[in-house]
Structure 1
């Protein structure tokens, strides 16, 4: 899976019924994420935490879609445990989980560990996460191994950065950026254009090379 790949219009059985991906996505962003196995503690914690943040994803026009190679019956039974572990805060689970017992989708979307991909008996999905824009294009991918749970707030941060930089073609977000922090101005933006686009202030950082490429500003809109 490479960035800007168009995610195919796959069909899938889910906990809310069958879906056709492009139709279900409509004009929203999507966070599609796989987990290795139902009834496991790390996966339960992840789906719970992301469920608790569903309203924040919705405010960003993001739909959530989970996936694993377990079957639909297993998913539906496991959802009872997930809702219970969310301390009663989730009464109706807010997003679907894809059932992929044949591993067809897991293989097509490259969600299986290289060492296990040819062993159908043991192959389970890694913690693959794809952020997909409304044109069905893969805009970010985050891969975690089976034993490490994901940081759900980092997923929100990446969505915020993608949506911000789509709106403003002159900026990028630096390391550890959070909404409201300074952004950097892209090196190809010349000084005249930068002053016109960011009239409320630019901070220019001098460096030993003498190259004027580190310029930051808070003059942008989310």
Structure 2
């Protein structure tokens, strides 16, 4: 069975350009995002790592750690970071996991158990390692996004999903389509109208099963 939403992430020992550590220890009591890549020195991935670097202040504002993964060595990661920082005009201050043996990629269900890296490989050999995992402080997977090789990831959407998760985490609310931070949220069906008003104050009953309220502070 592969990794699914609400599963606890594997507590693997990770080798990174920031040293070696257990994944759960690194997460601590914060939110975390793992974004993975099939190979260093590839064009789309360089733009994506650059985008993550440029959003450093946004991750910090949300109390969120970010960690990259690429199926190459720590030495290669260090060289690639120079290109990333040059391209993005921003420091890549997050660690990058070296996953040469594919242990992490397989544990996160990005590659099948029998996968291996052939001699002279290209990014296509590990193409499915293009995923984003948003992880809550209880070490559980909350969002999984996987992209093909030809489509660069939209990190504005990653931020939006993170905002929605943080707004609703442990609360009887959900977010509607295209929700942005500060907009109204949906009251969970576990509350009747009286309970919803007691908890949130004013509610807007659009349909018997669709009720909205101001985003709780």
Rounded Cα–Cα distance in structure 2 between residues aligned with 1:177 and 1:82 = 31
Q: Which residue of 2 aligns with 1:93?
A: 92
| Kept in 1: contact 2:105–2:129 (CA 8 A) | no
Equivalences for residues 5-20 of structure 1 within 5 A: 5-20=7-22
Change (3 A) 1:35 1:219: closer
Contact 2:182 2:215 in 1 (8 A): no
Secondary structure of residue in 2 paired with 1:195: helix
Is 1:196 the counterpart of 2:208? The answer is no
Alpha-carbon distance in 2 for matches of 1:129, 1:79: 19
Secondary structure of the 1:42 match is helix
- Number of aligned pairs? 209
Q: How far, CA to CA, are the matches of 1:170 and 1:118 in structure 2?
A: 41
Q: Find the structure with the greater CA-based Rg.
A: 1
**Aligned ranges 1:1-222 → 2 under 5 Å:** 1-86=3-88, 88=89, 90=90, 92-112=91-111, 118-121=115-118, 122=121, 123-124=125-126, 125-167=128-170, 169-199=171-201, 201-206=202-207, 212-218=208-214, 220-221=216-217
Shift of 1:6: 1.1
Contact 1:36-1:146 within 8 A present in 2 as well: no
Instruction: Check conservation: 1:33, 1:127, Cα contact below 8 A.
Output: yes
Unaligned runs of 5+ in 1: 207-211
Q: Which portions of structure 1, spanning 4 or more consecutive aligned residues, are displaced by more than 6 angstroms?
A: none
Superposition RMSD on alpha carbons, in Å?
1.7
Structure 2: 5+ residue stretches without partners = none
